[in-house]
Each structure stands twice: as C-alpha cells, then as structure tokens.
A and B are shown apart, each in its own frame.
Chain A
Amino acid sequence: MASINLRALAPIGVFFLLCIVIAIFSPNFLSVSNAIRILNASAIPVVLVMGATFVILMGSIDLSIEGIVALCAVVTASLVLNDTTAANLGMWAIPFAVLTGGMVGAINGATHVYLRVPSFMATLGIGFVCLGIATAALGGFPVRIADRGFRALTLGRTLGLPNGIWVATAAVLVALVIQERTRLGRYVFAIGTDEVTARQSGVPVERIRILVFVLAGLFSGMAGVMAAAQLGQGHALIASGRLFTTITAVVVGGTALSGGVGSVLNSVVGVLIVVVLTNGMVLMGVPPFVQQGVQGFLIIVAVSIALDRRQLEFVK
C-alpha cells in the first residue's frame, strides 16, 4: 500500500528535483518574477488539464482540445470589439465562447456514445472539424481584439498577480469540487475503474460519458477565451501544441491512461512540471524545438511508470 502513496507523491518529488536542478544551472530561475512567469504560463494549460483529466480518468481521451480552443478563441475574438466583425459584447462574449466549447464537447460525447466510436477517433475527427470551422470562418486570417477591458482578463493584475492565475485557480477549485463532491465526479472514477460493474450498480454510464465530454469542452472553451485575451487575437493556429502539452501534463502528473486512478490536483503538478521544464530549457539556452521531443519522451516515461500492466493483458 505504501507504494501507491509513493506513486501519488512521486510527481511532487519530480517537480522539486527539477526545480533544484534548474536552479543550480541557472540562478535566475529562483526569483519572484520568474515564479510569477511560470505560474502565468501555467494558467491556460491548467484550465485545459482540468477537463482532460476527467476524460482520462474515465479511460477515454480527448484529442479535440486544439480544435475547441482555436474555435472558441475565434468566437471570443469575433464577439468582443475587434477589427473584423461589428460585434462588441465585451465580457458577455465569454459565456458564448465557453458554451460553444461545451456544445462541441456534447457532440464529442454523443458521437462517442451513440455511434459507439472510440473516443480517440471521435475527438480526432471532430477536433479537425473545429479547426476547419475556425480556419474557414476567417479565410485563414486572424481577428485582432481591440477591447482592452477584455484583455485585462489575462493581462491585468489583482493583488499583484496576473488575472490569468486567478482564473486558473478558480478552474481548479471548480474541478476539485466536481471531482470530490458530486455524483458526476464519483461516477467518473467508477466508470474508469470498472464500467461493467458501474453500470450494474445503476450508474447512468452513457449520460456521464457525455457530460464529461461537455465538461472538458467547457474547460477547453474557457482556455480558448484566455488564449484570445492573452494574444489579443483569435485564429486557427492559436492552440497548436496545446494538445501535446495537456496530455503530457496529465500523464506526468500521475493520472493513468487506463482510467480510475488520478486527480485534477495531480494534473496541476503535471502542468507545473512541464512548464518549469520548458522555462528551465529556455533559461539554459536549449532551442525551443527540442521541447516537443522532450515532452514526447516524458509521455512515454510517465505512462510506462504509471501503467498498471497486470490489468492490461493486451496492448493495442
């Protein structure tokens, strides 16, 4: 039993070890301003992993993250004061964009459940549909945001910290309550551990699966809003690389791809590990293109450590 606890604590250990190593090579790392920079860079990934963690806890996967983020960023940018459309909804654009994400999530879930298509295929296809819509709607051009009030969502500061950090913190709290204190959260664990038993115990498996994809869509939608506010524009490529970072963070945090084991808090640690690693590589002068390779390597290492091989007789 001790080994399980060890496993749960391992990501935190890795995080501190990483910080120590980077601090030795690059003394600039341990400064308040760099810490805030790291937290700020973590804000969008943290919001993304909240949704992705639920999906993965259920034993499924969501490959449509980039598509939803891009689509929602474009929706946001087109609804606030901008250079392309006549709209000027200000902060009211946020619920529209987030709901768009939730809707795509519902389509993901419904396709997966009712057509009985494995989630990685359903979300791969629908993710591309979203990217296509984001591209086609703008003919490949970006929408520039002119609404300063809206951009304060990530650029402004409250109590000395960038607002993005507060938004991400709120997202974590919401996710934590859902995970620990709602039926949805507990059913996710039940389905991820043993779907057949969960169904026999009266868990409405289909409805929960769809709801979880909706939840993931909502979080991805919020991340799209934040990305638009951060970069001051919405375009189809705004999210490229996000999927990779998200999945890396979730698995590095210790949530098992086989489902049932993990937590949104683990994923927060996972994001911090990935972001600190990126930050450290930049500080140490490692070229940025190496990052994707390093993340790929991290995924393999993390998954191979976390996988419970006794459960998997065959690997497809």
Chain B
Amino acid sequence: MTEKHKQFIRNLVPIFTLLILVFGIAAYEPGFLRPRNLMTVTADTMTLFLMASGATLVIMLGSIDLSIQAIASMTSCIVAAMLPMFGGTALLFALAAGAAAGILSGLVVNYLRIPSFVATLAIGGIMTSVAFWASNERSIYISDEDKLVWLNWATGTTAGIDHEVVVGLAVLAVLSVILSLTRFGRLVRAVGSQERAVVASGINVNGVKFFAFVISGFMAGLAGLVMAARLGSGSPTLASEFLLPAIACIIVGGTAITGGVGSIWKTFVGALIIAVVRIGMTFVGVTVFAQQIVFGLVLVLAVAMTIDRTKVSVVK
C-alpha cells in the first residue's frame, strides 16, 4: 500500500466512524435521523468545534494549547459583564481579549522559549483569574433583551437553520481557506512537519507560531461568546469541562499530536463524533458523570493511533 492510499484511508476512517455511530443510534432511536434533530445535534456541537478549530492549527504545528477552556470562560464573563453598559462593543472587546490571550501565549512560547504545554497551562491560569475578576466570582446573567439584540447572530434560527451551525460553517470555511490556500497555512504544515528545514530556508517560524496561537485564542474567545449566548450567562467556570473534549475531537478527527498532518474539516468531523458518542452514551444509559471516563480513554487511544512515531525518537 502506498503512502497515498494510507493517507486516503486515514482520511476516511473518521467519516466512517461518524456514519456508523449515527446509524447505530438511528437503529436504536429512529427519530434521531429527523432533519430537525440532526440540526439540533449539529448546533449543540458547534461550541465544541469552535473551541477546537483554532487549537487545530496549534496542534498542527506540533504544539498544544491548554488555555482554550480558560479563554472561553473568560470571554463569556467579559461579554456578560459588559453587555448592559457597552452593548455590541462588548462583543468586540471579548473577542479582542481572546486574541490577546493567544498573543500572550505566542510571545511566551517564542521569546521565553517555554514549551507550549506549560506556557498555555500558565496563561490559562492567568485567564481564569481575569475571568473571576471580570465576573466578580459569580455567574452573570444576560438579559433576554440584550440577548435578542446582541447575541441573536449566535443563537437564533433563520429558515430552519440554527445560527450556531452558520457560525460553525463560516469558521470551517474561513480556516480551511487559510490552511489550504494561503502561505501561512502552508507554513503551519511545514513547521509541524520539519521545523529545522523551514528555519534553514529563511522563514520566520516565530511569526507562524505566533499567528497560530492568536487564531487559537480568538476562536476560543468566539466559542466563549456563543456559549454565553446559548446559556444566557457568563461564568468563570463555564467552559472548564471543555478542554478534554476539544482536544479529543481534534485528535479523533485525525490530526496528529506530533504536527504536520491535519485540517479543520477533520476537527469538524471529530467534534461531531464526540457529540454523537455523547448522545449514544446517554441512550445506552451511561451517566453524564461517567462520560468523562470514556472521553479520557478515547483521547489516549486516538493519540496512540494518530501519532507519527518516526518523528519522535524519544517520547517524553
């Protein structure tokens, strides 16, 4: 089997997994396949996808971003706290805060040369403190009026299509274009594949890494906005439970933790797999509490299956 065939099969495995899971559930509960239900499931999945979308770029570099859940929680607090006073500006402010967190991670990784998993763990801690500060240590409710005026773009429905799905598809399209049609996207793959050769070719690798972290922070921030809109509130622990599923859906989709291989649609498929697994577990009667067990195992197994062992001689 040539490398090309292997690649092809590797691309198809997540899609087949998704289809098998969907039809498996449909056999159990035929109503699952109703368009309205599928729409709802997809819409429910989009916050997870948004969080994982930007982080996909970081993982493709061979790095990781462990601050996304903290960033999402923080932007939910910022938007909830600022909406009554500033209106729409609050949205921009929240997104900017997400991007700023990414900027910090990028700077710390590039200039202090701290491995990304520690750097983003630390930045995540700082962002959690910011979230507590912004929210005064409690959940902040968003008034229905503010929600209708400022957050309908995220939670409304137009012509039977939930806006979450529209936002998700828009992000999918934009990031896919960036990854496959721009020089930046190509360099993300190149750095993840063979950083030394990219450096030797005279390319500013720090810039590539920096922008990947900024995009990751921005997307996590956007995810926080959509979460706040859906729940009608912001809280400093709103997204705490999302880090594991977010990384899991990137890996399950087929993006390797070792970098170089991956794409946004894979993460999209991965997010749907995670969502469908979750629904399936509920059907089978696995409690919400126990689902974390499954996700933990799925993450480890998916990493083990997708990792490129030729690239790491010493696994630490």
On whether the beta carbons of B125 and A244 are closer than 8 Å, the reply is yes
Asked if A50 lies at the interface with its beta carbon under 8 angstroms from chain B, I say no
Contact A131 B118, CB 8 Å, known A60-B316, A121-B257, A314-B195: no
Query: Contact: B314 with A195, CB < 8 Å?
Result: yes
Flag whether A300 is at the interface (Cβ < 8 A): yes
A201 to B119 alpha-carbon distance, docked (Å):
34
List of B residues within 8 angstroms of A127 by Cβ: 296
Chain A residue with the shortest CB-CB distance to B61: A316
Residues of B within 8 A of A118 (CB): 257, 303, 307, 312, 315-316
Nearest CB in chain A to that of B286: its residue: A136
B255 at the interface (CB under 8 A from A): no
| CB pair B300 A136 closer than 8 Å | no
Asked if B287 is an interface residue, CB under 8 A from chain A, the answer is: yes
Footprint of B on A, CB under 8 Å? 58-61, 111-112, 115-122, 124-133, 135-136, 139-140, 195-196, 244, 247, 251, 257, 259, 287, 289-297, 299-300, 303-304, 307, 309, 312-316
Q: A244-B121, A293-B130, A315-B109 are in contact. List 20 more A-B contacts (CB 8 A).
A: A59-B316, A117-B307, A120-B117, A121-B299, A122-B300, A124-B244, A124-B247, A125-B303, A129-B292, A132-B291, A132-B293, A136-B289, A287-B137, A289-B129, A296-B129, A300-B119, A303-B114, A304-B108, A304-B113, A315-B113
Q: Which residues of B contact A307 (CB under 8 A)?
A: 112-114
Interface positions of B from 92 to 150, Cβ below 8 Å from A:
108-110, 112-119, 121-126, 128-130, 132-133, 137
CA distance A274 to B79 in the complex (A): 32
Would you give the shortest CB distance from A293 to chain B, in whole angstroms?
3
B299 touches A316 (CB 8 A): no
Can you give 14 contacting A-B residue pairs, CB < 8 Å? Answer: A116-B315, A121-B257, A122-B303, A124-B244, A127-B296, A128-B292, A129-B297, A132-B290, A132-B296, A136-B290, A136-B292, A196-B314, A287-B132, A307-B114
Q: Is the CB of B128 within 8 A of A111?
A: no
Q: Is B14 an interface residue (CB 8 A)?
A: no
Judging by beta carbons under 8 Å apart, are B315 and A112 in contact? Answer: yes
Name the A residues within 8 Å of B130 (CB-CB).
293
- Give chain A residues whose Cβ lies under 8 Å from the Cβ of B257: 118, 121
A289 closest partner in B (C-beta): B132
- List of B residues within 8 angstroms of A247 by Cβ: 118, 121
Check A128–B125 contact: CB distance below 8 A: no
For B295, give its contact among A119, A128, A314 (CB under 8 Å): A128
Is B216 interfacial (CB 8 A cutoff)? no
A119-B316 contact given A257-B118, A300-B114, CB 8 Å threshold: yes
Which partner residue on chain A sits nearest B287 by CB separation?
A136
A244 to B121, CA, bound (A): 8
Are the C-beta atoms of B115 and A257 separated by less than 8 Å? yes
- The CA-CA distance from A297 to B195 in the complex, in Å, is 28
CB distance from B93 to the nearest CB of A (A): 19
CB within 8 Å: A-B pair count = 166
Partner of A125, one of B132, B289, B300: B300
Interface residues on B, range: 35 or more
Chain A residues near B126 (CB-CB < 8 A): 292-293, 296-297
Chain A residues near B113: list those with CB within 8 A: 304, 307, 309, 312, 315
Instruction: Sort A-B residue pairs by CB-CB distance and give the 8 closest, nearest first.
Output: A293-B129, A296-B125, A132-B292, A289-B132, A132-B293, A129-B296, A128-B296, A125-B300
Interface-central residue, A121, A126, A130, A314, by most chain B CB under 10 Å = A121
Please state if A61 and B309 are interface contacts (CB–CB under 8 Å).
no
User: Which residue of chain A has its CB nearest to the CB of B205?
Assistant: A314
Q: Does B62 contact A (CB under 8 A)?
A: yes
Shortest beta-carbon distance from B227 to chain A in Å: 20
Known: A61-B117, A132-B293, A289-B133. A296 touches B122 (CB 8 A): yes
Instruction: Encode contact with A along B262-297: 1 for CB under 8 Å, 0 otherwise.
Output: 000000000000000000000000010111111111
> Smallest distance from the beta carbon of B98 to chain A beta carbons, Å?
17
Q: Across the interface, which residues of B come within 8 angstroms of A293, CB to CB?
A: 125-126, 128-130
Residue from the list B118, B236, B287 in contact with A299, Cβ < 8 A:
B118
A189 to B309, CA, bound (A): 24
Q: Are A111 and B117 in contact (CB under 8 A)?
A: no
Question: Taking the complex as formed, is B6 at the interface, i.e. its CB lies under 8 A from any CB of chain A?
Answer: no
A300 touching B108 by the CB < 8 A rule?
yes
CB distance from A119 to the nearest CB of B (A): 6
Once the chains are docked, how many angstroms separate the CA of A195 from the CA of B291?
Answer: 37
Q: Tell me if B300 and A299 are in contact (CB < 8 A).
A: no
Check A125 against B299 for contact (C-beta < 8 Å): yes
Residues of B within 8 A of A125 (CB): 244, 296-297, 299-300, 303
- Tell me, in angstroms, the Cα distance from A129 to B128 when the chains sit together: 23
B290 & A128 in contact (Cβ 8 Å cutoff): no
In Å, the complex CA distance between A135 and B289 comes to: 6
Q: B259 interface residue, CB < 8 Å from A?
A: yes
A314 contacts B297, C-beta separation under 8 Å: no
Measured CB to CB, the closest approach of chain B to A136, in angstroms, equals: 4
Give CA–CA (A185, B129) in the complex, Å: 37
A119 / chain B contacts, CB cutoff of 8 Å:
315-316
Taking CB atoms, residues of chain B closer than 8 Å to A116 are 304, 307, 309, 312, 315
Residue B63 interfacial (CB < 8 Å): yes
Collect the chain B residues with CB atoms within 8 Å of residue A115's CB.
300, 303-304
